Structure 1
Amino acid sequence: MHAIDTGSRHDTSRTGRLTRVLVLAGVILFVGRGFARIVHPAFWAEDGAQFFSEQISRGGLDVLLTPYAGYLHVIPRLIALLYAPLPFTVAPLLYAVTAVVVALGLFSIVLSERLSWLLPTPRARAVAFVLLCVSPVLSEVYGNIANLIFVGGVGLFLIALCDDPGSRVGRVVEVVTVALLATSGPVVVLLLPVIVYRWWRVGRSAQSAVVAAVAIAGAVIQAIIYASSSRTTPGGGSVELAVRAVVERVAGGWLFGFSSLFHPDGGPLLPTVVTSVWLVAAFGVTMAVLRWDAVAPWFSLLALTGAASYAYGTIFVSGALAGQRHLVTPVAIVIVLLVAAASRSTGRAGRGVAIGCLVLGVLGVVAALYLSAHPDPADLSGLTSCRETGARLCYTPISPSGWGVYLTR
């Protein structure tokens, strides 16, 4: 008996060490893949043109609830508010570092024991964390606060998969987090099936009811703001295009990363067949192993991808980087479901198919792992000097081309 206990403790200790190594590897890989954007920081798009510019120009807390592009963006605006008193020259670095830290924090939700019903072992949860950190579809969202609204979709999805927190503090933190994420972009609307399913799955608990109510309230607010806004999108979507988006952008994103194999008129036969077979295999094995627990996530994945394809038409299937932000949550959903299927399958066939689907993403992961720094045309020292003179308008260009910081009085 003593020998058995000793062996059990040894196995537990070894598993714990492996889990810690995997988590550390995930953090290192995530920080390292975009390290160039940290050591060479630059304002990217709305970071400077919208959130920095409005916070400096207008100031005050009311900016937090100012819609942009048809939605509330509370989290990016909170970050801009936090750093507004600091010198302009450090803002790009602080934005980049904060975006990386927030993303890691959201991804780390998958490590919680509250997901043990789906990912039963610490090792499985650590593997899921690593795969989220090396996802091939993070180029557009990495290191900027503007696209945290799409990274936030991953956080909302993972919270929806969690069991209820055991402590009062945990319950409060969860509700506040959901409120912030639900008022930061439109993703919450399309994740409602998973969030409501949690309420049903855990036995209609009060905590899950509150989480669902907060998410629904956020979704309604975002929908009302969007409906009353003047935002327009190219449109031109169809069912066929939505299917192509799932095959070419979600499956293709995982398998091929940045590779521009597909274009508005389609792609070569072999990659199309490979991505289609992969998608069918991923769907089949996750449904076979997880059954009803996989239905809501797949529904949300289809809704997220379909909504983007209907909004942008053929633009959304015009290249690997076109609208890539809309793929962050769908790809994360597939990753988590496949890891869950691999860890919960009682048969070798199911486990083998799930692991195979994940392993086939090695090419895409490697191809998209390194993220180069953005060009930095901004003159923030000059912007500071201009502001100090009391000028009514101060301007500097930023990346990408055509964007700029405009500070007004």
Structure 2
Amino acid sequence: MSENLCPSAGERARAPSSLAADIVLTYFIVVVLLLYRMPERLQQGYLWAEDATVFIGQAYKFGAHSILMPYAGYLHVIPRLVAFTYRALGADPQGIAIAFAWTCALLTASVCSYLYAIAVRYVPRPAAFVIALAPVLLPHTGESWLNLTNLQWTLGPLLMVMLLDTLGREHSDHLFARCFIVLVLAFTGPFSAILVPLAVPGALVASRREKGLRRLAPFLIVLVAGLTQLAIYKFANDRHPQHPLSEYFHYPWIETFLNNFVMESLFVPQVLPATGDSSMYAALATLVIFLACVLSPAGRWRAVNIIALAMTVALWMLGVVRNDAPAVAVQWFYDGVARYTFTPFVLCIWALAIAAAKSPLKLSRYVAVAFLVLLFANGATRFHAPTMPSKITVQPDGAYLIEAAPGSPWHTTVKPGR
């Protein structure tokens, strides 16, 4: 493994107490940020769409069997476990909205803390904090936060980092624990299927290193889980795009990506150029500067950023198809589609953090920091998460009617003890 990707002697020698303090600090910052940005969701409780109809309703109806029930084309083990655990504990359904919101907040904080613990082995602390906090600092409407339905968008990037960390580690320590985390992540959402192209070459590289068979385990788990999720999507998916794929051959991919992803993520509408040639030239210039910046690190860090950029474009394109564009454009500030920009933005922030920490060019480091400031400032100033409280009412027969945002048809009726 290249020296650039392995932890430096100073990073390896970091005192455990200092690392533990940073991890706790990351956890605290995430919880405070979520409380600051969406206080109503954590104070009043929050359920979103499938939280009620799929996860809660099926947990009460099917019990433990619900954990392995697919939805929308893949398994969702972690959200299913949360819902089933709440039901198995016999907790009052009237408190389920607050319990789920706080569970999602604490899981998000755990993910960010784990990201920090991994990142600080390879990059300086400021860059590690940026990488860790990316899932809560990126431009977003709040659609993907504090609900089980969209928890997969926070969990998915961690799976990718754990695979890369498997390659970067000098020893295969804590293998069983890491494999268990990889397993539950891989069967939560579509990311193991998306990461199959990364897991295959990763497995080949890992097999040639010291204790290669042990290092293979996380990659094999992702491969098996990814192929399983693809099979479920193929044979048990009840949701299909409204438009045939052939229509997307004529979709204006480049223009739409430049406008809806590149420019609108960095600049407020007042400073964006008018539509036309000036808009396209400005977008192209911005993209060129961005690419020159994130590709400036040498060696394997450049390869990591290339992987991140390739996945950014691929995930954004999958979001366009999944959302049945062009009826609704995939834009980060538009409720209902913002989740499809979540992971691409995380990956872009990571690429910029790596450039700021590892680029040999001082100008590229400054440019990377400038891009990060623009991203975070744009998200902070344009952030909105409308308050949409859930409603839980007791029925005459003792059952509970649980109504999740944004309203009909997202409701279910459950009865404790069933």
How far apart, CA to CA, are the structure 2 residues paired with 1:253 and 1:39? 31
1:43 CA drift (Å): 1.9
Q: Report whether the alignment pairs 1:401 with 2:407.
A: yes
Q: Report whether the alignment pairs 1:99 with 2:104.
A: yes
Aligned to 2:7: none
Does the 8 Å contact 2:24/2:113 carry over to 1?
no
Q: Report whether the alignment pairs 1:323 with 2:334.
A: no
Letter in 2 for 1:336: W
Does the 8 Å contact 1:154/1:328 carry over to 2?
no
How far apart, CA to CA, are the structure 2 residues paired with 1:398 and 1:99? 16
How far apart, CA to CA, are the structure 1 residues paired with 2:131 and 2:97? 30
How far apart, CA to CA, are the structure 2 residues paired with 1:306 and 1:55? 33
SS in 2 for 1:225: helix
Aligned to 1:301: 312
Does the 8 Å contact 2:30/2:112 carry over to 1?
no
How far apart, CA to CA, are the structure 2 residues paired with 1:365 and 1:139? 10
SS in 2 for 1:181: helix
Aligned to 1:349: 363
Which deviates more, 331-340 or 321-330?
Answer: 321-330
Aligned to 1:215: 222
1:325 CA drift (Å): 1.1
1:125 CA drift (Å): 0.2
Aligned to 2:350: 336
1:211 CA drift (Å): 1.1
SS in 2 for 1:313: coil
Aligned to 1:251: 262
Letter in 1 for 2:131: A
Mark the CA change 1:135 to 1:114 in structure 2 (over 3 Å): closer, same or farther: closer
1:219 CA drift (Å): 1.1
Deviations along 1:67-108, whole A, 9 cap, x unmatched? 111211111111100111211111111111111111221222
Letter in 2 for 1:221: T
SS in 2 for 1:112: helix
* Equivalent position to 2:195, from 185, 191, 196: 191
How far apart, CA to CA, are the structure 1 residues paired with 2:187 and 2:116? 24
SS in 2 for 1:304: helix
1:34 CA drift (Å): 1.9
Aligned to 2:161: 158
1:207 CA drift (Å): 4.0
1:145 CA drift (Å): 0.6
Does the 8 Å contact 1:88/1:381 carry over to 2?
no
Which deviates more, 105-114 or 216-225?
Answer: 105-114
Letter in 1 for 2:77: V
SS in 2 for 1:288: coil
How far apart, CA to CA, are the structure 1 residues paired with 2:153 and 2:23? 27
How far apart, CA to CA, are the structure 1 residues paired with 2:260 and 2:105? 24
Deviations along 1:355-383, whole A, 9 cap, x unmatched? 2221222432222445342243x2x2324
1:198 CA drift (Å): 4.5
Q: How many residues align?
A: 382
Aligned to 1:40: 44
Aligned to 2:130: 127
Deviations along 1:254-299, whole A, 9 cap, x unmatched? 3258x7999xxx9676665554433332223222313222222222
Does the 8 Å contact 1:115/1:161 carry over to 2?
no
* Equivalent position to 2:183, from 176, 179, 185: 179
SS in 2 for 1:400: coil
Which deviates more, 135-144 or 366-375?
Answer: 366-375
Mark the CA change 1:107 to 1:307 in structure 2 (over 3 Å): closer, same or farther: same
Letter in 1 for 2:377: L
1:44 CA drift (Å): 1.1
Does the 8 Å contact 1:137/1:254 carry over to 2?
no
Mark the CA change 1:62 to 1:33 in structure 2 (over 3 Å): closer, same or farther: same
Letter in 1 for 2:397: C
1:310 CA drift (Å): 2.3
How far apart, CA to CA, are the structure 1 residues paired with 2:205 and 2:368? 24
How far apart, CA to CA, are the structure 2 residues paired with 1:399 and 1:333? 29
Mark the CA change 1:291 to 1:90 in structure 2 (over 3 Å): closer, same or farther: same
Letter in 1 for 2:147: N
How far apart, CA to CA, are the structure 2 residues paired with 1:241 and 1:77? 38
Q: Identify unmatched segments of 5+ residues in structure 1.
A: 1-7, 389-393
Q: Identify unmatched segments of 5+ residues in structure 2.
A: 1-9
Does the 8 Å contact 2:139/2:376 carry over to 1?
no
Mark the CA change 1:49 to 1:21 in structure 2 (over 3 Å): closer, same or farther: closer
Which deviates more, 50-59 or 394-403?
Answer: 394-403
Does the 8 Å contact 1:179/1:214 carry over to 2?
yes
How far apart, CA to CA, are the structure 1 residues paired with 2:71 and 2:270? 31
Q: Report whether the alignment pairs 1:283 with 2:291.
A: yes
Which deviates more, 124-133 or 202-211?
Answer: 202-211
Identical aligned residues as a percent: 20
